Amino acid sequence: MTDLDAGNLFEQINEKKAELDRIIKELGERAIKEYLQEFWDRNPDIAGLKWNQYTPYFNDGDPCVFRVGEVRFRFSDTREDGGDYEDGYEDSWSYGYHRYPDLKREDRDAALEAIPEYVAAKKLSGIWQNNEMTLLSVFGDHVQITADREKIDVDEYYHD
């Protein structure tokens, strides 16, 4: 094999990778849109979603690997200034704590598992985290995504 032959193979590999990246992005966009439409239809009390996704700049000696953060939810009864960051969005732990502050954790977890919207929110968060590379292809790195029934906004996300 000559350098010219090897160069052609690398060119073919790069073309195939670009084609595969395009297919993943297109299928990912479709899957996210369809999943969210069904999610909204089945969960009328969930008004919005928010999550961060990024590759950390530093990870204390461990490899810096892209990851999707926990999905936070805006429920129809959450105040605009509610939630952990006073933006109206709550993570699953805070949701349970704020609704059942006097229950022991195991009792609180059992009570939450009886709330269909809570179960659906946890399921969506798990699906997102199991499909990180698709979310990276669709939305990019170092971003915060906010979704509601009408739109999905992608904003630059600054982190350490």
Find the helix packing angle between 3-42 and 132-139, rounded to 10°: 100
Indicate the pLDDT class of residue 1, thresholds 50, 70 and 90.
low
Sign of the dihedral through C-alpha 68, 144, 32, 115: positive
Q: Is the pLDDT of residue 96 over 80?
A: no
Residues 53-89: pLDDT tens digits?
999 888 788 888 999 998 999 988 888 887 778 888 9
pLDDT of residue 110: 85
Whole-angstrom distance, CA of residue 89 vs CA of residue 118: 13
10 Å CB burial of residue 141 (0-12, 13-18, 19+) is exposed
In the DSSP assignment, the letter for residue 76 is T
Q: Is the pLDDT of residue 42 over 90?
A: yes
Residues 99-147: pLDDT tens digits?
777 878 788 888 888 888 888 988 999 999 999 999 999 999 999 999 9
pLDDT of residue 77: 81
Q: How many domains does the chain have?
A: 1
Task: Name the residue among 56, 76, 80 with its Cα closest to residue 67.
Answer: 56
Task: Count the alpha carbons within 13 Å of 72 in the hemisphere toward its beta carbon.
Answer: 20
Q: Is the pLDDT of residue 157 over 70?
A: yes
pLDDT of residue 80: 84
pLDDT of residue 4: 63
User: Do 118 and 92 meet the contact criterion of CB atoms below 8 Å apart?
Assistant: yes
- Pull the structure tokens for residue 94: 């805070």
State which residues form the domain around 14: 3-156
10 Å CB burial of residue 83 (0-12, 13-18, 19+) is buried
User: Residue 58: which H helix or E strand, with range?
Assistant: none
